[in-house]
Amino acid sequence: MDQAVGLRKNGNGELKQGGFVAKDRPVPRQPVRVMAVSSGKGGVGKSNVVINLAVAFDRMGLKVLIMDADLGLANIDILLGLAPKYNLSHVLNGQKKIEEVLVAGPGQVRIMPASSGVQELTRLTDEQKLLLLELLDGIETDIDVLLIDTSAGISDMVLYFNLAAHEKIIVVTPEPTSLTDAYALIKVLYSKHGERHFRILVNSATSEAAGKTIFAKISKVADHFLDGLSLDYLGAIPHDSAVTKSVLQQRALLEVFPQAPAAQAFLAVADTIRKTQPSVNQGTIQFFWKRLLNL
Q: Which one of 17, 38, 48, 162 is in contact with ligand ADP (CB under 6 A)? A: 48
Which residues in the 37-96 window bind Mg ion by CB under 5 A?
46-47, 75
**Counting contacts by CB under 6 A, is residue 115 touching ligand ADP?**
no
From Mg ion, ligand ADP, none, which one binds at residue 48 (CB under 5 to 8 Å depending on kind)? ligand ADP
**Counting contacts by CB under 6 A, is residue 111 touching ligand ADP?**
no
**Counting contacts by CB under 6 A, is residue 45 touching ligand ADP?**
yes
From Mg ion, ligand ADP, none, which one binds at residue 276 (CB under 5 to 8 Å depending on kind)? none
* Closest separation in Å from C-beta 78 to Mg ion: 9
CA 133/CA 293 separation, integer angstroms: 8
Q: Total residues contacting ligand ADP (rule CB under 6 A)? A: 19
Instruction: Choose between 46 and 90: whose C-beta lies nearer to Mg ion.
Output: 46
CA 214/CA 216 separation, integer angstroms: 5
Q: Total residues contacting Mg ion (rule CB under 5 A)? A: 3
**Counting contacts by CB under 6 A, is residue 185 touching ligand ADP?**
no
**Counting contacts by CB under 5 A, is residue 151 touching Mg ion?**
no
* Closest separation in Å from C-beta 148 to ligand ADP: 12
**DSSP symbols for the chain:** -GGGS--EE-TTS-EEETTEEPPP--SSPPP-EEEEEE-SSTTSSHHHHHHHHHHHHHHTT--EEEEEE-SSS--HHHHTT---S--HHHHHTTSS-HHHH-EE-STT-EEEE-TTTHHHHTT--HHHHHHHHHHHHTTGGG-SEEEEEEPSS--HHHHHHHHHSSEEEEEE-SSHHHHHHHHHHHHHHHHTT---EEEEEEEEESSHHHHHHHHHHHHHHHHHHSTT-EEEEEEEEEP-HHHHHHHHTTS-HHHH-TTSHHHHHHHHHHHHHHH---SS----HHHHHHHHHT-
Contact criterion met (CB below 8 Å) for 174 and 202:
yes
In Å, how far are 91, 103, 254 from 132, measured between CA atoms? 9, 19, 34
* Closest separation in Å from C-beta 125 to ligand ADP: 33
274 burial class (0-12, 13-18, 19+ CB within 10 angstroms)?
middle
**Counting contacts by CB under 6 A, is residue 243 touching ligand ADP?**
yes
Q: Which one of 7, 36, 44, 64 is in contact with ligand ADP (CB under 6 A)? A: 44
**Counting contacts by CB under 6 A, is residue 114 touching ligand ADP?**
no
Q: Which one of 96, 97, 110, 239 is in contact with ligand ADP (CB under 6 A)? A: 239
* Closest separation in Å from C-beta 85 to ligand ADP: 22
Q: Which one of 17, 38, 47, 87 is in contact with ligand ADP (CB under 6 A)? A: 47
Q: Which one of 43, 196, 216, 294 is in contact with ligand ADP (CB under 6 A)? A: 43
From Mg ion, ligand ADP, none, which one binds at residue 191 (CB under 5 to 8 Å depending on kind)? none
Instruction: Choose between 45 and 117: whose C-beta lies nearer to ligand ADP.
Output: 45
The residues that touch ligand ADP, with contacts defined as CB under 6 A, are: 39, 42-48, 73, 75, 203-204, 237, 239-240, 243-244, 247, 262
